[in-house]
Each structure stands twice: as C-alpha cells, then as structure tokens.
Amino acid sequence: MDIGPNRIGENRDGQSGTSSGTFLSARDIHFRVGNRDILKGIDLVIGPGEIMSLLGANGAGKTTLLRVLLGLAAPARGEVFIDNAPTASLPRREVARSLAYVPQVHMTPFPYSVREVVAMGRLPQKGLLSNPSDRDHDVVQRVLGQIDISHLADRVYSEISGGERQLTLIARALAQQASILILDEPMANLDFGYQALLSKHLRGLADDGHTILMSGHDPQLAYSASTRIGLLIDGHLEQDGKPDDVLTAATMQKLYGVDVESVALACGRRAFFPTGQ
Amino acid sequence: MRRQRVFAIGALLILALFGMMAVSLAIGRYPLSLADIWEFLQASVGLHELAPERYALLYNIIVEIRLPRLLAAVLIGAALAISGASFQAVFRNPLVSPGILGVLGGASFGAALGLLISEQWMVVQLLAFVMALLAVGFGVFIANLFGPGTMVTLVLGGIISGALFTALLSITKYTADPYNELPAIVYWLMGSLQAVELKHIAVVMVPILAGIVVLTLLGHALDALSMGDDEARALGVPVTAVRYGVIIMATLVSALSVSIAGIIGWVGLVVPNFARLVFGPANARLLPLSAAIGALFLLSADCITRVLTPAEIPIGIVTELLGIPAFILVLGRARRAWI
C-alpha cells in the first residue's frame, strides 16, 4: 500500500520512535470568521528540539492557529509546511504520520481502556481497515512505558484522573510516531505535580528530536517548560524568542493588561508576580 | 479484554446460535426431535432413505415453514443490533437506536401506504424499504441545509424527518378502512416474522451480510471518530466519508430488516449496550459480536413467541418485554461509565 518514496514519515520502521527531526512552518497565515480577522499574517518555523509555548489572552487566536497548523481549519490565506511539503496537498493519513495532536483532556462516551486509546495512535501507520499487528502492540506497550503509565494500561480512560488522561493522550501521540507534537493547553486542569511531570516528559521528547508546540495560559509555566515563547496578540505573533527575552514586565502588561513584577532568582531563572492590588 | 478470551466467547456465541437454530427448527405446533431433523438433513443430501410422504411432511415443516423464520430472525437480529451499535458510535451516544435518523418512521409510513394501495406483500415491503431510505435521506438533507451537517443537526434532522413521516403515517391510518386495513397496519407496526418467505430472505441476505462486513471493517475508524471529529482527523481518518459511509450501511441493513418484518424494537438499543458491557467498546470486535448476540436474541425471542401461546404474539412485543429488564440491568452496570 505504501511502496515508493515518501518524504515524511520515514520513521515508520525505525525502532526509536523518533525521526531525524521535522520542521513545521507556517507562512503568512490569515484566518477569518465571518468578517472578523482572527489571524492576521502569522509566520512561524519550529524545528527539532524546540519546545515552543504560545501565550495569548483568551480569544487571541491560539486555538485557531493550532487548528490551522494541524490542518483542521483551512486558512483564508497562507500555507502550512511539514519540512518542505505543504500539508494541504498531502493525504491526511500522511500528515498524521508526521504531525500528532494532543487535545485538551476530555471524556469519552464509551469506556475505552487506556491501552485502546493509545492504540488509536497506530491508525495512521497501520491503516484504517487492518487490525493492529504484534508490532503495533509492541509500540503501544513501549510508549506506555516511556510516559510511565504502564500501570494504567487496563484502566478505563474516563475513570482515571485528568493528569493521567493528559499523559494517555501524549502517549497516543507518541504511538503515532510523529515527530511534531501540537498540544492544546496541556497544562490546564493539571495539578502542580502533573505540570512538573509533563514538563519533564516534554523536555525528554524534545531532546529525542521531537518538535513541540503548545498553547498555554500561565506565563510562569511557559517560562519554565519551554525553550521558546511566542506571544499572540490581536492576530499577530508580536514576540517570538527565548523565554528570558520575551517575558518581560512590559510584554506581559501588553499581553494580559496587568502590571507584573519580574523577579530574578538565584538559580538564574525568573518568577512573575502581578503587582498593585 | 484479552484476545484469546474474546475468541473463546465469540466461539461460544456461534455455538449457542447453532444450538438455538436447531431448537428453533424443532419446536412448534408440530414438535420434531433433533433426530428427525438430522434424518431429514441426511435425506436431503441423499445419504438416507425416507418415505416420500414423510420427506414431504418434513420438507414442508422444516424448509417451508420454519427455516424462513429462523433465517429471518438471525438476519434481522444481527442487522438491527449492528446498525444500533454503529449509530451509537457515530453519534457518540450509547442511548441511540437505529431509528435515530427516521428509518422507522419512514418504513412505517411506507408499509402503511402499501397496505392501503395494494394487496401484494411485495409492494408493502418495497414501499417500506424505499420510504425508510427516503426518510433518512430527508433527515440528512435537513441536517446539511444550513451549512455542513454536524452531529447535532443530524440528530435534529432525524427528529424532523421522523416527525414528518409519523404524521404521514397518521394520515394514512386515518384514511384507512377501519375493519381491514387499519388492523393490518397496526399489526405490521408490531413486527412479525410470520409472513417471511424464503424468497424474501434470498433478497435481503446478501446486502445484510455485506453491511455487517463493511461496518465491521470500519470499526477502527469508528473508535477514532468517537473521540471527536478533530482528533479523528488528526489521526488520519476521513471523518465525513466514514460518518456517511457508516450511516448509509447502517440505514441500509436496518431498512431491509424493517421492510420484511415490521418494527421490532429494543434489539438495536439493548444488544449493543449489553455487548459493550461484556466485550468493551472497541468497535472492530463490538460490531460483529453485537450482530451475533442480536441474532441469538431475536431467534430466542421468536422461539418464545412460538411456544408461549397457540395464537402467536407479535415478536416486537416479546423483544420489548425482554428488552426492558435487560436494559435495566445494563443501566445498573453501565451507569458508572456514562456519568
């Protein structure tokens, strides 16, 4: 079924689960809903090893941008590329071999086990109609171990905690063996411990050569979890760079409309506190 | 659930189904023993000599009277159960039944119209089938009237279409002659396997079996679809094609079964939920196992209708009576997973 060269998704037969690394880029993305411009020309290139957080006020267009990058919403103008291939021209299944989506934690109407949810990640690799092979089962088992949730494998997905469900969805993305991960507010609804755990896993994945983009609400979390931060303000990517450069009292004033004090810590990191109450 | 266990339970189900088939051939107003049936089977392939009049008697009872009912019960039970399970997956709701898009309303109107305008059973069946498809088509059309259909607009389209065809059914009933036609319509609506003949089976068998195979093949895609459209797309699933493909196949098999046997309720709702409790929600195995359980369920219900009273009660009533306690049990066990 898949004989012949394909530029992307060559990692299908690799054992490591990650590839040599794939770039995700967006060129001049515009998006409209009715006569309201949501995105007004976004340019973005993200590569292997990067963890980029998108920050923006509610309604700034973070989710829309992620959906456009995933190919779930068609932009009014502009294109999205996986390496050099425009995603709009690729079959969806091929896109899914390079680009995995980790949605916000949700419930399922049916009592799928964690293992079954993770196994859905094998769909783009094995095809829609065939049953999972032994190799698919092996991959599922391996990613469950990689994310340290092997003990949850036979639990019902809708009965475990929000943090455990988020990890399950990340495991499913890994089972896809895609090298680009897009996460929609992965830190929301997680307790402090799970936020730290998730940051650790994301760092590990980036070190393995994954390209990671996520949206978020908490600048402190984004600061400590990412290698790069983008500020989405009014449909433009206003700032894009290293966390230390992007997150300043001035930019956060602009982003959230409140005064913020940025405190340098002894370890070389920074902490942010809203001021003036 | 482990694969070996699923295979074991599946094999048991098939065995139980064959056992029930034998029972179904044996019981009735003229009881046969399993030895009689075995004798007849051997005689019919030339391995055994039977007196011609005894052969003719057995042929009449087994092949002409009981076999069509048996096959109808098996096919219709399987069709209703798998179409219910498929609709539940497509609409991400375990409480959906095959009638969700208006298939039952359409078939009821079609059959009533047929009973009104024609004496011929074929016309009734054909009209029931055509109107069932028409009703679903109309529901889907409404759902897409103001932009691409979503799950909510599909449900609403189905409700609107169902209401329209129910109104048409009422008009038909109102104009029907109350001494002959009206009772025939009411009786049809209760569902019955009595009038089924082998030639009907010959027509519906292949499409129903094909529908079961196609729906089963789409099981993995349906699993992804039940996580939500965006996630399914991100997993490489052509969501719209799969959704409408499943709707078409599930509508086809349920319309075929309704057109030969009338409205047989509860099978499409209860059986998939029962199967999900036992085998888990993974559709690639849930769908065929639902079909097997549905076949067994309806065949058992048919045997009950035949032995319970000499004047046979319609099978639709029996499935409802059996379905209610079964569904209460399912509700009790499944409550946890639904909240």
Cβ of A167: how many Cβ atoms within 10 Å?
A: 26
Residues A48 and A143 in one domain: no
> What pLDDT was estimated at residue B334?
62
Total number of domains constituting chain A: 2
The tens digit of pLDDT for each residue in A100-152 reads 999 998 888 899 999 999 999 999 998 888 888 899 999 999 999 999 999 99
User: Is B339 among the domain residues?
Assistant: no
Is the distance from CB of A242 to CB of A268 less than 8 angstroms? no
Domain boundary among A120, A148, A177: A177
Count CB neighbours of B38 within 10 A.
12
Interface of A with B in 188-247 (CB under 8 A): none
SS3 (DSSP) at B314: coil
The distance of B130 to chain A (nearest Cα, Å) reads 30
**Interchain contact, B337 vs A158, CB within 8 Å:** yes
CA atoms within 13 A on the CB side of A94: 17
Sort out which chain B residues have CB atoms less than 8 A from A94's CB and list them: 236
Q: What pLDDT does A266 receive? A: 82
Q: How many CB pairs under 8 A join A and B?
A: 89
> How do residues A212-239 score in pLDDT, each as one tens digit?
999 998 999 999 999 999 999 989 999 9
pLDDT for A11 equals 40
Q: Do B227 and A129 touch (CB under 8 A)?
A: no
A4 pLDDT above the threshold of 60: no
Which residues in chain B touch residue A101, judged by CB atoms under 8 angstroms apart? 230-231, 234
B85 neighbourhood in chain A, CB within 8 Å = none
Q: Which tokens hold the place of A201? A: 């896993």
Among B4, B93, B227, B336, the strongest candidate for a mutation testing the A interface, having the largest count of A CBs within 10 A, is B227
Residues near B9 by beta carbon (within 8 Å), at least 6 away in sequence:
B278, B279, B289
Q: What is the pTM of this model?
A: 0.89
Measured in angstroms, the CA of A61 and the nearest CA of chain B are apart by 17
Q: Do A145 and A209 lie in a common domain? A: no
Question: Is B338 part of a structural domain of the chain?
Answer: no
- A191 and A157 in a single domain? The answer is no
Domain span including residue A109 = 99-177
In a domain, B97, yes or no: yes
pLDDT less than 70: residues of chain B: 1-2, 333-339
- Determine the structural domain holding residue B295 and report its residue range: 3-332
Q: Please check whether residues A165 and A211 belong to one and the same domain.
A: no
Residue B189 lies in a domain: yes
Residue B145 lies in a domain: yes
Say whether residue B95 is in contact with chain A using an 8 A CB cutoff: no
Q: Which of B94, B234, B280 lies at the smallest CB-CB distance from A70?
A: B234
CATH assignment at residue A72: 3.40.50.300
- Which of A177, A209, A232 delimits the end of a domain? A177
Min Cα distance B294 → chain A (Å) is: 20
| Number of domains within chain B | 1
Residue at a domain's end among A111, A143, A177: A177
With 70 as the cut, is the pLDDT of residue A12 above it? no
- What is the interface pTM, i.e. ipTM, of the complex? 0.87
Distances (CA, A) of A46 to A41, A72, B223: 16, 19, 31
Q: Which of residues 121-160 of B touch A (CB under 8 A)?
A: none
Cβ distance of B236 and A123 shorter than 8 Å = yes
Which tens digit of pLDDT belongs to each residue from A106-116?
888 899 999 99
Are residue A227 and residue A208 in the same domain, yes or no? Answer: yes
A163 and A188 part of one domain? no
Shared domain for A89 and A199, answered yes or no, is yes
